[in-house]
Amino acid sequence: MAGGINLATKYSSVVDERWTRESQAQMALNNKYDFTGEKTIKVYSIPISVMKDYSRSGIARYGSPDDLTRNVQTMTITKDRAFNFIIDKGDKIQSEMVSDAGQALARQLREVVVPEFDTYCFAKFAAAAQEAGGYATTAITASNAYACFLAGQEYLGDHNVPDAGRVAFCSYKFANYMMQDPAFVKYSDKSQDMVIKGILGEIDGCKIVKVPSTRLPAGAAFIIAHAEAAVGPKQLEDYRIHDDPPGISGWLVEGRTIYDCFVLNEKRRALYYHGGQSVFKALDVMTAATDTGKTTILINGVKEASANKWYYMTATSAAGLTAITYGSAITTGNWTELTANATEITPTASHTVARVVEVDSSDYPIAFCDTLLNIG
């Protein structure tokens, strides 16, 4: 591994950090339910009593009474995730001190832990909305984006979801279409001002939040959610830096988080999902220089479905990478499968770029990313 770690001949002490953003799914989660000390909690909901005709004779004039029953939703936390890495003391000293354990931990939280939580929550929102019937697949264009958004608002309104507290999480592509939609531009002077500034802000009392496609389900246009519709318990967030642990001259960084996301049964119609768009999701892929002539492919995220697969190829330039087409299966024989994340490979010496693609069970691509090869 030492051959791939940048030990200073003279490297800059300023780290080229990636841009990140805080949790966005948190805006649509409530914390009314206490999971402290419990893996499973039960939430009760009470059905209605139906109306009957009143009878003006007899002794059961209100009709025969029934027991008022209780429905029970059982919520069991399932996500128990962890990470760890070592920063060698010699590597830190010989790399201009850029390998700081505290900074590395903070980087791991904002670039890995937070996006994974958001991705998981948005997938839960989309699945629950589809199961409840709050779902559309109309292809979004610059002429129908606003109408499609209003259809989602109408769905929530028809199910008595309060106007206040709604949040729409949308892809940047949908946001671009919205700002080009003449119906939206004519909506008000305020909307025109937002178009000029390139900001959506709030529409009909619903906050509009633009989300990277890496966090949204593949093919997502937008998800409308009320802030009371779901809970997102984070039962454990345990992060540690061990200074000179046995067998290591340096720092061992470890982290563990236990979390989940549950849509409440009686509020599942407070979610609306517009998906099925013919667009690729962006994969978050990078490479890390390891041993001499080798690199490790790192995918920041998990597969959308357990049957999905990751494949990669490398080339001397982007022009040499095999093109992929939405709706057309790849020829897997032209690719190499990544059977596990963080796989070390030995690219051809002249190769400088890689393309990584996620395909479904029928080998249809749903997401991809092109990345530079960092080779040790």
Three-state DSSP class for residue 275? coil
Which tens digit of pLDDT belongs to each residue from 257-300? Answer: 999 999 999 999 999 999 999 999 999 999 999 889 999 999 99
Question: What gap in Å lies between CA 265 and CA 72, rounded to an integer?
Answer: 9
Give, to the nearest 10 degrees, the angle between helix 172-180 and helix 145-158. Answer: 110
Contact 351, 373 (CB under 8 A): yes
Would you say residue 25 has pLDDT above 80?
A: yes
Token pair for residue 266?
A: 């009686």
Burial of 373 (0-12, 13-18, 19+ CB in 10 A): middle
Would you say residue 197 has pLDDT above 60?
A: no
pLDDT at 11: 46
174-183, 214-223, 246-255, 357-366: segment of lowest average pLDDT: 174-183
Residue with tokens 């479905």: 305
Closest to 314 (Cα-Cα) out of 346, 289, 282, 281: 346
Helix, strand, coil percentages in the chain from 3-state DSSP, rounded to 5: 25, 30, 45
Average pLDDT over residues 43-50: 79
Say what the pTM is. Answer: 0.85
Per CATH, the number for 280-372 is: 2.60.40
Residue with tokens 């001499």: 292
Question: What gap in Å lies between CA 167 and CA 211, rounded to an integer?
Answer: 12
Contact 208, 276 (CB under 8 A): no
Instruction: Give the strands of the sheet with 250-259, arranged side by side.
Output: 79-88, 250-259, 234-243
Residue 349 host element (H or E): none
- Band (pLDDT 50/70/90 cuts) for residue 48 is confident
Average pLDDT over residues 318-330: 96
Token pair for residue 136?
A: 């559309």
Give me the residue spans of the domains in the chain.
76-274, 280-372
pLDDT at 14: 59
